[in-house]
Amino acid sequence: MRDPDALIARAGVRGDPDRDQHFLVDDRVLDRLPTYLESEAPRASDDVSGESPRAEELDADTTHLLEIGGGTGALTDRLLAVADEVTVIERDPTLAAFLEREFSAEIDAGRLTVIEGDALEVELPDFTASVSNLPYGVSSEIAFRLFPEGKPLVLMFQQEFAERMVAEPGTGEYGRLSVSSQHYADVELVESIPKEAFSPPPAVQSAVIRAVPRDPDYEVDDEALFLRFVKALFTQRRKTIRNAIRNTAHISGLETPDAVVEAADEELLSARAGALSPADFAALSQLALEVGGPDLEE
C-alpha cells in the first residue's frame, strides 16, 4: 500500500482547513475502512457503538466503488486493492491532476476513473458501494445524495454528526438527521477516529458510519412530503405535534394543517418530535397526504 505521508509529499500539497482539507494519514484506519463493507469486519476495539441488525447481510458488492474526496489517494489505493473498478470525485484541480499522475497505470488499465468536479453537481457513476472520507462542510448534502441510490455506504463524518445519524427516539441527539438517515438504511457507527489520524488535525473528532440500504417497514407514498414533514416538525421540536403541524405549514406544504390535526391520533398529537419513531412520522405524512390539502408538490 502507498504510504499516506509519501503521497502528500509527492503531491507537494498541505491540507488546508479553510478549504475543508484534512488528509487521513493513519495506515490502520485506512486499512480498516474498506473492510466495513464486509459482514465480519475487524473493528477498532474501543471505538464501536454496537452491531448493526443487518450486518450479517452486508458483504457488499465491490465491483465498482465510489470515493468522494480522493485527496492524495491514500484511501483510493486501498479501494483499488479490493475493487474491480474505482471512481474518485475530487473537486480540487491540483489534487485531481495529482491522482491522474500517481495512478496513471490504474487509469490506463481501466480500473480507476478520476472525475474533477463537485460531488453535488457531477453525474454519479453506476457504483455498487461507496467508501469516502467526506468533506465535512458539505457532508450532509453529499450523504443525502448518496442515500437514495440504495447502495452500501461507509462514510466518515464529524463525530457529533455521526452520532445524530444513528440516534434513537427519546435521546438528545435524535432529530431530523436521524429520521431521514434511518428512512433509507440501517445506520451504524462503527469507529471513532481521533484528530491525530489526520494531517492537519481537524478541530473535532471524527467517526465512521456504515449504512446498509433497506426498504423501511412502513409505507410512504410521497417521499418528498415525508422528508419535508420531518423537517417541519423538528423545527419546533419543543412544541407538541399538534402545534408543530399547525405552525409549520409553510415548510411542510400543507394547505389545511387543521385537517391533519383533526384526523390524527391524540397520542401522537400530544407527543413531541423527539419522541416519534420514523414509522410515526410516516403515518402522519400519509395522513397529511390524504387530508392535508392539494398544495403538496413544491
Extract the annotated binding site for S-adenosyl-L-methionine.
22, 24, 69, 90, 118, 133
Pairwise CA distance, residues 44 & 295, whole Å:
49
Angle (CA) 213-167-187 rounded to 5° is: 15
User: For residue 122, what is its C-alpha cell?
Assistant: 457531477
Which residues are documented as binding site?
Answer: 22, 24, 69, 90, 118, 133
Q: Where are the alpha helices (DSSP H) in the chain?
A: 4-11, 27-32, 74-80, 93-102, 104-108, 139-146, 159-166, 176-184, 223-234, 241-247, 249-252, 257-263, 266-270, 278-291
Pairwise CA distance, residues 262 & 266, whole Å:
9
Is 125 within 8 Å of 63 (Cβ atoms)? no
Judge if the upstream peptide bond of residue 93 is cis by omega within 30 degrees of 0: no
Is 192 within 8 Å of 156 (Cβ atoms)? no
User: For residue 290, what is its C-alpha cell?
Assistant: 390524504
Q: How far apart, in Å, are the Cα atoms of 173 and each of 176, 199, 261, 274?
A: 10, 29, 27, 9
DSSP 18: G
Pairwise CA distance, residues 169 & 200, whole Å:
35
Q: List phi, psi (to 5°) of 190.
A: -105, -20
